[in-house]
Each structure stands twice: as structure tokens, then as C-alpha cells.
Structure 1
């Protein structure tokens, strides 16, 4: 394939990816499911699991190996923009009077699934061998198995909360706040796992990577915000130029963390966290709106690239059993742990059940973490496929479970007064 032919092939494949992902996302929303679930389903459908099984020739023609690097580049760019926006919107000050409940729910929703996931990885190593895992699992793989069950997707959860009218209710505020706290803990643990698991060729030993990563984080937290405020805000810079420079800043931060043997996701998140807000701590609409638009447009590339590694048709009997068990554990550990913690945090029975169900939402954030672990060699292709479908299943189950526990009933909904939690949802919907 000539270079000109490859470029045009990328253009054609991109057209298919964008149209298919957003069309299926629209269908998912009509079915009362998050938009992102439809995009994820489209990405998997365009991979070997569906299109590759039904029409392998067409799948190979549409997505030949030669265009893989270009699609991966679009995928990584979309991840950086998306997580840069997530980091910018992260604000733990929204906890307010619900801090005790949110912290209790966050701790339980992380510790319980973490313990169950890591414990199962140790107990069922023989079964995991049938999915391509090594005979003896390393510490990084065991911890990663726990992280895979512990993730809660804040963007998707926020979309579900908003679309169900729960944004200004006690369970809605507690769930979103707890998920934000859990994200901080989860990303930190995942960063440690990736640092310990080893970097690419030419990267230093993990001890040096920890030191260098800690130094980079400290530099970003201490110096980046005042420098950015002085250069980009006080100079009254044009918003479009400021956006371009900040995306460049996020890409540079992602490049540094990737070079340290981490993943681009951590640099993008960190860049978003250190970007200054407006006076009073409010978000800059000239920054948030285009970030969401760019992220929403390009995220389908991430789903398609991730879907190319999902091989559902290649799962054996053990794989299907593991998928069923992991899905049940993923739902029960989150809902039970979140519900009990919410009750201990002072919520009534109905509100606590709603919080527990909401904390089981995974979606995009889970897929990002799984992709990072797969690229680091912590999970095999078959186990990666199982975990991706677990993420999809648990997200699809959230809406039916909300209806089951009566979360949408007027008798279970206590609306908070204005100013208490009304600002917990992001300005736009990436979920």
C-alpha cells in the first residue's frame, strides 16, 4: 500500500468509525442507556468479535494492519483530551456537608472489590491459565485484578445521575462525590502498578521511575498552576489560542509520563488538575465546551482500537464462566459495599441502595484502565476481552437496577436545597 493510498484508507476508516459510533450512541440513548455504551458497543462490533467473525475479509479490508498506527495515534490524542477535561473538572470541594458519607462510600467501594478481585486472582490461578495467563501471577497482576473490579466511571455515572433527575438528590451527590474520591485512589494505585510492572525498552528501573514520577508530579503541582495563570490568563489571551496551548501542555505531560513507563492517561489527568480555574473556583466555559466537543468526536477511535483486541468468539468454556463470575462479583461487591457504607454514613435505606447501584457504573474509565493494563502486559488478550465485556455489562445493568431499587420513585428522592451539590455534575456530557 502506497503512502497516499494509506492516507486515504485512514480517511475512509475514520468516516466509518465516527458515523457508526455516534449512530449507535444515539440508539443507546434512545434505549435509556449512556451514549458512551453505544460507542463502546460499536467499537467492539467493528472488531474481530463481530465483524471479524461475520465477514473477516471485510474487517481486514476496512482495518488493515498498515493503518493501525494512525488509528492508535487518534486514539491516544482523544484519550489525552478526554482525561485532561476530567482532571480539570475534578473538584473535591463539592463534598461539603456530605463529606463523611462520600468518604465512607468511596473507601468501601474501593476496598471491597479490590480485596475480592485480588483474592480471586490468587485463588483461581489455574483457571486463569486457560485464558492465557502465566502459571504464577506477579504482584502487579494480582493488584491490577483488584483495580479492575474497583473502578467507577465518573463521566458515565454523572450522565446517568443527570438523565434520571438525581443530580440534586442526596444519593446523586454522594455517589458522584464518592466516585471522584475513588478515582483519585484508583488512578494512584494503577500508577503504582504500572511503575512496578516495568517500562518499555530504555526506561530506567522501577525504583528510579518512582522517584522521577514523584518529582514530576511535585513540579506540576507546585509550579505549573502559577506559571499557567501568569502566561495564559493574566495576559488576556484569546480563548482559542489558550485552548491550543493547554492541549499542547496536556500532550507534553502525557508524553513525560509515558516516557517514565506509566501511561499517557496519567499525564493528561495531572495536566487537567493543575490548570487554573476562574475566580471563585468556577470552570472556564471557553475551555470546557471545546474540550468536550473534541473528546466526544474523537473517542470512537479509542473504542475501535480497543475493540480490535477483544476476541469474544475466541473464548473457551472457562472464559465464559469467568465472564459470568467476574460480572456477578463486579456488581455485587460494588452495590453491597456502597449500600452498606452509605447506611453507615447516615443515609436511609432507599438512598443507600441507590448509591450502591450507581457505584457499580464502570464504562469508559474502566476501559481506559484495562487498556493500560493490557498494553503493559498485565492481562492476556482473552482475559482483557472478559474484562471489557464485564465493563459493558455492569454499565448496562445500572439503569435496570436503579428502576429495581426504586431510585426513580418520588418517595425515594429527597432533593437538596439550591447550592448543596447542584454543581457536582460536569458542564457537559462525555458519558
Structure 2
């Protein structure tokens, strides 16, 4: 394929991806579902399992193998921008007066699903082997199975909280706060699992990679923030130039973590966390708004890339049974652990159930982790397909379960006041 032909194919595929994914997201929102549900469903529909099976010639024409690297590059860039914004928005001060309750809920909703997921990986070895996994799972694979059940998607959760009028309620603030702590724990454990994989991309052995990763995090935490404050804030650069330099900073950080055998997602998150806020502690709207707009525009490339790896024809009877079991466990462990911990933290039974249901939403964060696991060889393609559908199912179930849990009496009660510090949701949901 000549360069001109490849460019033409890429431009045409990009037009289809952007329009179709946002149309799917819009339809999902009209059906009272998160935007991500429509975008992910569109990505799967444009993949080899549906479009490739129904119209293979059309699929090959729209997505020839030659444009694969370009689509992957756009997908990775969108992840860096998105997670840079997530890291910048992350503020554990949102815990406020309910810090103990939120931390308790976060730890419970991590430990219980983590234990169940890792335990199932050890117990159900034969079904996992039928799904393409090795007979003897590595420690990293076992840990990843637990992380896959433990993740909560903060962007989806905050969108659901806002759309249900819970932003200033006790369960809404506790759920968002706990999810922020939970995500930090999950990303840390996932990073440790990936460092232990012996990824061929990294030339160094894992002890050296661990030491370099710790050193990099230390330098970013201690030196990057004051340097950025002096260079970008005190010099009062114009917003567009500041945005360009910070995205470059995020990309550079992502490159470092990728070179250490981790995923670009960790560098992007870390870069966002260390970027200083305004002098009064607020987020810079001139930085956050364009980050959201760029991320919202380009994330469909990530959803299509995720859909390319979903193989419906690999879903045997074992696969469908695994999907049912994993989805039930994913919902039950999150709702159960979150509800019990919230009750122990002093919430009444209605608010505690609401917290548990909200924490069961996975969505985009789960997909990012699953893609990292697939790239690192911690997942087979059939098991990846099962877990992607689990993420989609748990996201779809959150809104109906929330309406069922709250009930007429709970919906009619006035929301309890809370500090106006809730994490603002990402537009993509």
C-alpha cells in the first residue's frame, strides 16, 4: 500500500470512528446510560467480531492492517491526555469530614474483590485454560485477576452521581471520595504486577526497573511540581502555550514509564497528579477544558482499538459461563463490601446501599487496565473478551440498580449537605 493510499484509508477510518462513536454515545445517553456504553458498543460493532463477520470485504477496506499502527498511536495519545486530566483532577481533599468512612469503604471495596478475583484465578484453573490461559498462572496473572474485579471507574461514577442529583449528598460524596482512593490503590498494585512481568520492552531486569520506577516517582513528586509552578504559572504563559507544554510533559512522563516496562497510563496519571493547581487550590479551567475536549474527541480511537481485540467467535460455552460468573462476582463483591463498610462508617442502610451500587461501575478505567494487561501478556484474547463484556455489563447495570436501591422513599428524601468539592466528571463518561 502506497503512503498516499494509506493516508486516505486512515482519514476515512478516522471519520467513521469519530462520528459513529459519538453517535453511539449520544444514543446511550438518551437511554439514560453513560456515554462510554455507546462508544464501547460502537467500537465492538466496528471490530472483526461484528462488522468483520457480516461484511469482511468492507471491514478490510475500512480498517486495513497498514493503518493499525496509526490507529494505535491515536489511541495511546488519547489515553495520555485523558489520564493526565484524571490525575490533575484527583484531589483527596474531597474526603472532607467523612475521610475515615471513605477510606474504609475504599479499602473494603478493594480487598474483598481482590481476594475473590485472585482466589478464583487459583481455583478455576481448568476453565481459565479453556479460555487460553496457561495451566500454571504467574503471580502477576493472579494479581491482575484481583485488580480486574477491584477497579471502579471514577469518570463513569461521577457522571452517574451528577445525573442522579447526588453530587451534594452524603452517599455521592463518600462514593466519589472512596473511588478516588480506590483508583490510586488499584493503579499502584497494577503497576507492581506489570513490573513483575519481565516485559520484553524493557532491557533491564525487574529489580532495576523497580528501583528506577521508584526513583522516577520520587523525582516527579519532589521536583516536578515546584519546577512547573515556577516555569508555567509564575511566568504567566498564555494558556495555549501552557497547555502544549503540559501535554508534552505528560507524553514525556508516559514515555519514561513505558520504557521501564510499565504502560503509558502510569506516566500520564503521575504527570497529572504533580501538576500544580491555582494559588487558591482550584483547577485551572483554561487547562482542564481543552484537555476534556481533546480527550473526548480522540477517545473513540481507544474504544475501536479495544473492540478490535474483542473476539465474539471465541466465546464458547465456557466463555459465556465465565462471563456470567465474573459479572455476578464483580457486582456482588463491590455492592456487598461497599455497603457493609459504609454501614460501619455510620451511613444508614439506604445511603450505604447507594454507595455500594455506585462503586460497582467500571467502564473506561476497567478497559484501560484490561488493555494494559492484554499488552503485557497477563490475559488471553478470550479472557480479555469476557472481561470487556463484564465491564460493559456492570456499567449498564449501575443505573437500574441505583434506581432500584434508592426506591421512592430514598429518592424523595432531601440530599444531605456536603462540601462543594466533588470531583467533576469527565465529559466522556
Hey, what does 2:404 align to over in structure 1?
Answer: 404
> Can you give the 5+ residue segments of structure 1 that lack an aligned partner in the other structure?
none
Determine if contact 1:131/1:380 at 8 Å carries over to the other structure.
Answer: yes
Hey, what does 2:305 align to over in structure 1?
Answer: 305
Change (3 A) 1:64 1:244: same
Hey, what does 1:152 align to over in structure 2?
Answer: 152
d(CA) in 2 for partners of 1:232, 1:348: 46
Determine if contact 2:90/2:423 at 8 Å carries over to the other structure.
Answer: no
d(CA) in 2 for partners of 1:407, 1:67: 49
Hey, what does 1:294 align to over in structure 2?
Answer: 294
Hey, what does 1:16 align to over in structure 2?
Answer: 16
Change (3 A) 1:206 1:412: farther
d(CA) in 1 for partners of 2:347, 2:303: 37
Hey, what does 2:391 align to over in structure 1?
Answer: 391
What is the aligned residue count? 429
Hey, what does 1:239 align to over in structure 2?
Answer: 239
- For residue 423 of structure 2, the aligned residue among 418, 422, 425 is 425
d(CA) in 1 for partners of 2:197, 2:36: 30
> Can you give the 5+ residue segments of structure 2 that lack an aligned partner in the other structure?
none
User: Deviation string for 1:365-414 (max 9, x for gaps)?
Assistant: 00000000000000100000000000000000000001111267555644
d(CA) in 2 for partners of 1:273, 1:319: 38
d(CA) in 2 for partners of 1:109, 1:427: 21
Determine if contact 1:310/1:385 at 8 Å carries over to the other structure.
Answer: yes
d(CA) in 2 for partners of 1:422, 1:108: 26
Determine if contact 2:156/2:425 at 8 Å carries over to the other structure.
Answer: no
Determine if contact 2:278/2:284 at 8 Å carries over to the other structure.
Answer: yes
After TM superposition, list the pairs within 5 Å mapping 1:314-353 onto structure 2: 314-353=314-353
Q: Quick check: 1:382 aligned with 2:372?
A: no
Q: After superposing the two structures, state which structure 1 stretch, 291-300 or 198-207, moved more.
A: 198-207
Q: What's the secondary structure of 1:331's corresponding residue? A: helix
Normalising to structure 2: TM-score of the pair? 0.98
d(CA) in 2 for partners of 1:122, 1:413: 45
Q: Quick check: 1:222 aligned with 2:222?
A: yes
d(CA) in 1 for partners of 2:239, 2:10: 31
Determine if contact 2:201/2:261 at 8 Å carries over to the other structure.
Answer: no
- CA deviation after TM superposition for structure 1 residue 239, in Å: 0.4
Hey, what does 2:357 align to over in structure 1?
Answer: 357
d(CA) in 1 for partners of 2:252, 2:120: 38
Hey, what does 1:57 align to over in structure 2?
Answer: 57
Hey, what does 2:118 align to over in structure 1?
Answer: 118
Q: Quick check: 1:182 aligned with 2:182?
A: yes
d(CA) in 2 for partners of 1:169, 1:201: 46
d(CA) in 2 for partners of 1:430, 1:344: 33
Determine if contact 2:239/2:287 at 8 Å carries over to the other structure.
Answer: yes
User: Deviation string for 1:312-350 (max 9, x for gaps)?
Assistant: 222111111001100000000000110011000100000
Determine if contact 1:350/1:412 at 8 Å carries over to the other structure.
Answer: no
Q: Quick check: 1:92 aligned with 2:60?
A: no
Determine if contact 2:153/2:363 at 8 Å carries over to the other structure.
Answer: yes
- CA deviation after TM superposition for structure 1 residue 104, in Å: 1.0
Q: What's the secondary structure of 2:420's corresponding residue? A: coil
- CA deviation after TM superposition for structure 1 residue 306, in Å: 1.1
Determine if contact 2:170/2:415 at 8 Å carries over to the other structure.
Answer: yes
Determine if contact 1:289/1:428 at 8 Å carries over to the other structure.
Answer: no
User: Deviation string for 1:25-46 (max 9, x for gaps)?
Assistant: 0000000001111111111111
Determine if contact 1:170/1:414 at 8 Å carries over to the other structure.
Answer: no
Hey, what does 1:128 align to over in structure 2?
Answer: 128
- CA deviation after TM superposition for structure 1 residue 415, in Å: 2.1
Determine if contact 2:94/2:423 at 8 Å carries over to the other structure.
Answer: no
Hey, what does 2:197 align to over in structure 1?
Answer: 197
- CA deviation after TM superposition for structure 1 residue 201, in Å: 3.9
User: Deviation string for 1:236-263 (max 9, x for gaps)?
Assistant: 1000000000000000000000000000
Determine if contact 1:406/1:412 at 8 Å carries over to the other structure.
Answer: no
- CA deviation after TM superposition for structure 1 residue 202, in Å: 4.8
Root mean square deviation, CA, Å: 1.1
Change (3 A) 1:266 1:309: same
Q: Quick check: 1:373 aligned with 2:373?
A: yes
Determine if contact 2:202/2:259 at 8 Å carries over to the other structure.
Answer: no
Determine if contact 1:53/1:313 at 8 Å carries over to the other structure.
Answer: no
d(CA) in 2 for partners of 1:427, 1:333: 25
Q: After superposing the two structures, state which structure 1 stretch, 215-224 or 50-59, moved more.
A: 50-59
